[in-house]
């Protein structure tokens, strides 16, 4: 059996960055469900939190899991569950895109704290500003294809 410990910090937003998650009560309920559901599927979410229009998720990737699989399972099931339980007035969707960055063992607590403090963090900085910082910090190349331009 392989022994793997790779941490990935995921960030993704709601469709069109709609502030579907304004209520902290609803956010807590969603994060709790996402963590519990992921564990049932063998996905270890180390830490999860977010704000009105996005989610941060620190995941311990297992040897048999891929980044795209995790995103499909976590995002797909959670949007289905949110709609089934009518947690939002409108039809809820996550945006197709996401960010994923590896996290070294030495930086785990720093990333957990960053995720934990999303509420206070976004009193001073929008998700758009946070996104631009991630793009610059991690060297992401922002490519918008004509087919996806409406998804941004």
Render each residue's pLDDT in the chain as its tens digit; 152 residues. Answer: 788 899 999 999 999 999 999 999 999 999 999 999 999 999 999 999 999 999 999 999 999 999 999 999 999 999 999 999 999 989 999 999 999 999 999 999 999 999 999 988 777 777 788 778 777 887 876 655 555 555 54
Beta strands at 99-103 and 6-13: parallel, antiparallel or unpaired: antiparallel
Does the predicted model carry a pTM greater than 0.95? no
Two tokens, residue 71: 């995103």
- Listed in sequence order, the residues at least 6 apart from 95 whose beta carbon sits closer than 8 Å to its beta carbon are 12, 13, 14, 15, 16, 17, 151, 152
- CATH, residue 48: 3.30.70.1290
Q: Give the integer Cα–Cα distance in Å for 68 and 83.
A: 22
Q: Is residue 54 part of a domain?
A: yes
Q: Is residue 1 part of a domain?
A: no
Q: Is residue 68 part of a domain?
A: yes
Report the domain count for the chain: 1
Q: Which domain holds residue 96?
A: 6-151
Q: Is residue 28 part of a domain?
A: yes
């Amino acid at each position: 059996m392989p022994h793997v410990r790779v941490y990935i910090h995921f960030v993704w937003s709601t469709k069109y960055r709609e502030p579907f998650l304004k209520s902290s009560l609803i956010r807590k309920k969603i994060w709790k469900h996402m963590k519990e559901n992921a564990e049932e599927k063998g996905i270890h979410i180390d830490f999860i939190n977010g704000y009105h229009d996005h989610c941060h998720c620190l995941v311990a990737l297992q040897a048999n899991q891929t980044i795209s699989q995790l995103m499909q399972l976590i995002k797909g099931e959670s949007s289905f569950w949110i709609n089934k339980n009518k947690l939002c007035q409108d039809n809820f969707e996550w945006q197709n895109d996401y960010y994923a960055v590896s996290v070294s063992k030495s930086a785990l607590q720093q990333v957990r704290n960053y995720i934990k403090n999303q509420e206070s963090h976004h009193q001073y900085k929008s998700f758009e500003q946070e996104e631009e910082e991630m793009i610059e910090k991690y060297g992401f190349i922002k490519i918008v294809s004509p087919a996806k331009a409406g998804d941004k």
